[in-house]
Structure 1
Amino acid sequence: MSNKEERKAPVLRFKGFTDDWEQRKLGDKITRIKSYSISHGYETMHDTNTKYIHYGDIHTGKVKIINDINILPNIKDNNYIGLNKGDIVVADASEDYKGIADACLVNTDTDSNKIVAGLHTIALRPQKDTYPQYLYTYLSTDIFKHFGYKTGTGLKVFGISYKELAKFLVSSPSIKEQKKISKLISLIEKNIDLQQRKLNELKEVKKTLLSQLFPSKGQYRPIIRFKKFTNKWTKRKLGNIAKIIGGGTPSTSNHDYWNGNINWYSPTEIGNNIFVNSSNKKISIKGLNNSSAKLLPGGKTILFTSRAGIGNMAIMLTDGCTNQGFQSWVIDDTKIDIYFLYSLGRLLKHDAIRQASGSTFLEISNKEVKKLLLEIPSFTEQKLIGNMLRKIDDDIVRQKERIILITKIKKNLLQKLFV
């Protein structure tokens, strides 16, 4: 039986290309290069001109398309067989199925340095009829990932052997079309990387602002202030500037208490969200009246998790209640700016964790949350600080959404450009 077959082309094509694609086993399109059981213990701080690729660095995304050899760790040379530009290194082990056979591409000249494939890797050298970046991109498609899910074995650690990997069927057009596809995907990936760098820069700006707009411990004035504000900030207990309210859970055996129209939050719904306005589960008015849950006002409440991940916060935009995993903060919005308190509150997380107790899991009580200390300025200064931080948070949210959108475009193209 021939390992070479003809297969129809994908849904989306570049103008001028009409030929059917060729389908062959991966093992027939590459030459295998030796990899070694080199782990982190082999690394050295000295520049040895010999680098290596560890499977863990592939999974974390530290190495994807390697354009700069200096991102790789140094090891002492031991007559290892090195990689060439265009070689692909696949991680053959992963802690979950999603990471099976993640790959990276050597895209830098290796004349003056040697790059070695390290622990839990399979090194592949594409043959002349296969453009390296095309094959690397193919290994990130859902087609290949599905193959990895089906083929991978193991319980705690999932793995794939070269023998199984070599059976994967790769569909390929001409080299010219492979290069066009690769160039398009590469441009999108560069855009994603650019947007990610912008996101990281915004996060750094916010981090700096938080350190300078709020006083350091033991201080009563921040480093940066708006004009005309010179007064010391006032030390207050949280319980003196906000009502601290716990939550509750209606009986799960009474169906009349559930599936109503009242939001009912659990800590897992908070995550990194700044705002929440609709919960996964909802309770009825009967459920509210027959439990210790309290209806909290939207726009005036900061949800604060008090167990199983203490100190996660979100501003609740619409009325709702919570389970007992919260000690929420309800403010008087004529005296406290909610975004100021939300931003300042995130700095209280470590203090809250220190005050927590419990044998099964850590939890901070209502009484201890009320005792948390913070310095606050006048209401006018609060609003200026809150507005500034909200603007940068809005920029961060928009930047995240931009990355999600471009990533979806890339995924859609991968589905339509490959078969």
Structure 2
Amino acid sequence: MSNKVPQLRFNGYSDAWVQRELSEVARYRNGKAHEKSVVETGPFVIVNSKFVSTEGQVRKYSDVDIEPLMEDEVAIVLSDVPNGRAIAKTFKVDRSGVYTLNQRIAALTAKENFSPSFLQLVLDRNRYFLKFDDGVSQTNLSKSDVLQFTTAYPTIEEQRRIGLLFESLDNLIAANQRKLDLLKEQKKGYLQKMFPKNGAKVPELRFAGFADDWEERKLSELATMNARIGWQNLRTSEFLDNGDYMLITGTDFKAGEIDYSNIHYVEKERFEQDKKIQISNKSILITKDGTLGKVAYVEGLTMPATLNAGVFNVRVKEDLAIDSKYLFHYLKAPFLLKFADQRSTGGTIKHLNQNVLVEFPIPLPSLGEQHKIAGLLSNFDNTIALHQRKLDLLKEQKKGYLQKMFAK
């Protein structure tokens, strides 16, 4: 029996952690088939692989509690497709009388002196289980595969402290995720109401002090659109790690902005080859291949830059009273891809054609109202980005603790 200690632990604990097989730590039972009891909505949630892998977002219901799950039991997924994301994913039952255990899911009940929360932490997507996935055939964990899982355990008091820490982190992550989701839904609601629909001259919702009818203009009337043409395409061997002329690609787009941290560069002659795809601050960039319709607004550009293939450079015409930020927000909204989808001849859109882009209708209020709308949507984006960074930081913090608070 091997005794180990983690890299990071709470003050007051110094005992060695002890290696144990799961059979020493928990009791095991299998779930049962629910095909005949599935209903559209019912009193019991079926704990299947989809429920566990989506953290409860995707649910099926049963009218019969065929294999009841009790509070603090840990469910673990036993079967998944090759390279799947569900195998060995876990769910700790938060209350009794709500969940019923499906087939190909096991339930583990922690024995005396072992914490259910700690048990879930050491089991969840553990590399031991992932090794059973050969990337070719269906992965199926047997009872013996699960019960032979071996890892180190501290005293029950330290297990509980660790479990409480991660429960607190998970609650913080969940609360911040809910805030983020709410902000995105609020923005979505404003997008649906702040632009005219179905031929209307005014939107459903607008700022006080504005009453004039809106116009509708084609994008080609408001802006120029250019992309790198075929014969100008760059070879990857021409991408430089440093230089005086930046090369922007669709993979550099991040949350509506350009992420300059991993930018490539090109030689001067490649930059000068086509002035129409030389970008500047206030350029609006749209991907036309790969992930279609990603949009970025260029700000903070400090040196000459050109575009790689697969991206449109959209520039507001200089003689027009158009707020480029307003145009950016409208192009970033779902309206463009919906329009492109309606214009497609069937099947999945694989390429955003310029002949679609030039015809895309843009609703236009007065310049003052454009400023107001752009400001509101920019504030939403900034707040969403702030919450996303906070959420990412919490997830990284949890990841760091997971790496340091468990004996290897």
161-170 vs 193-202, greater mean Cα deviation: 161-170
Q: Report deviation, 1:139.
A: 2.1
The structure-2 alpha-carbon separation of the partners of 1:106 and 1:190, relative to structure 1 and needing over 3 Å to count, comes to same
Matched, 1:108 2:102: no
**Match 1:200 to one of 169, 176, 181:** 181
- Partner SS for 2:280: coil
The two structures, once aligned, show a CA RMSD in angstroms of 2.8
Q: Does the 8 A contact of 1:257 with 1:286 survive in 2? A: no
Q: Report deviation, 1:84.
A: 2.0
Q: 1:121 corresponds to which residue? A: 105
Matched, 1:30 2:26: yes
**Match 2:78 to one of 92, 96, 102:** 92
Counterpart residue identity of residue 139, structure 1 = L
Matched, 1:315 2:301: no
**Match 1:344 to one of 297, 311, 330:** 330
Q: 1:67 corresponds to which residue? A: none
Q: 2:286 corresponds to which residue? A: 304
CA distance in 1, matches of 2:363, 2:313: 19
Q: Does the 8 A contact of 1:6 with 1:20 survive in 2? A: no
The structure-2 alpha-carbon separation of the partners of 1:107 and 1:204, relative to structure 1 and needing over 3 Å to count, comes to same
Q: 1:287 corresponds to which residue? A: 270
The structure-2 alpha-carbon separation of the partners of 1:416 and 1:362, relative to structure 1 and needing over 3 Å to count, comes to closer
CA distance in 1, matches of 2:345, 2:34: 43
- Partner SS for 2:96: coil
The answer for unaligned runs of 5 or more in structure 1 is 64-70
**Match 2:62 to one of 68, 75, 97:** 75
Counterpart residue identity of residue 296, structure 1 = Q
Q: Does the 8 A contact of 1:288 with 1:294 survive in 2? A: no
Q: Does the 8 A contact of 1:84 with 1:106 survive in 2? A: yes
Q: 1:267 corresponds to which residue? A: 250
Counterpart residue identity of residue 60, structure 1 = T
The structure-2 alpha-carbon separation of the partners of 1:254 and 1:105, relative to structure 1 and needing over 3 Å to count, comes to closer
Q: 2:321 corresponds to which residue? A: 335
The structure-2 alpha-carbon separation of the partners of 1:30 and 1:91, relative to structure 1 and needing over 3 Å to count, comes to same
Q: Does the 8 A contact of 1:90 with 1:103 survive in 2? A: yes
- Partner SS for 2:95: coil
Matched, 1:167 2:148: yes
The answer for unaligned runs of 5 or more in structure 2 is none
Q: Report deviation, 1:204.
A: 1.4
The structure-2 alpha-carbon separation of the partners of 1:245 and 1:11, relative to structure 1 and needing over 3 Å to count, comes to same
Identical columns (%) = 22
- Partner SS for 1:371: coil
Q: Report deviation, 1:125.
A: 1.6
CA distance in 1, matches of 2:268, 2:212: 47
Q: 2:54 corresponds to which residue? A: 60
TM-score scaled by structure 1?
0.85
Matched, 1:229 2:206: no
CA distance in 1, matches of 2:297, 2:144: 53
**Match 1:15 to one of 11, 17, 24:** 11
Deviations along 1:6-42, one digit per CA (max 9) or x if unpaired, are 4222122222222111210112211111212335x74
Q: Does the 8 A contact of 2:239 with 2:265 survive in 1? A: no
Deviations along 1:155-191, one digit per CA (max 9) or x if unpaired, are 1544433322222212111111111111111111101
CA distance in 2, matches of 1:354, 1:409: 44
The structure-2 alpha-carbon separation of the partners of 1:257 and 1:312, relative to structure 1 and needing over 3 Å to count, comes to closer
Superposition pairs for residues 318-397 of structure 1, below 5 Å?
318=301, 320-332=305-317, 335-345=321-331, 346=333, 347-356=335-344, 362-397=350-385
Q: 2:386 corresponds to which residue? A: 398
148-157 vs 130-139, greater mean Cα deviation: 148-157
Q: 1:136 corresponds to which residue? A: 120
Q: Does the 8 A contact of 1:38 with 1:54 survive in 2? A: no
**What is the aligned length?**
397
Q: Report deviation, 1:258.
A: 5.1
TM-score scaled by structure 2?
0.87
Q: Does the 8 A contact of 1:357 with 1:363 survive in 2? A: no
Q: Does the 8 A contact of 2:271 with 2:305 survive in 1? A: no
CA distance in 1, matches of 2:154, 2:239: 60
Q: Report deviation, 1:268.
A: 4.2
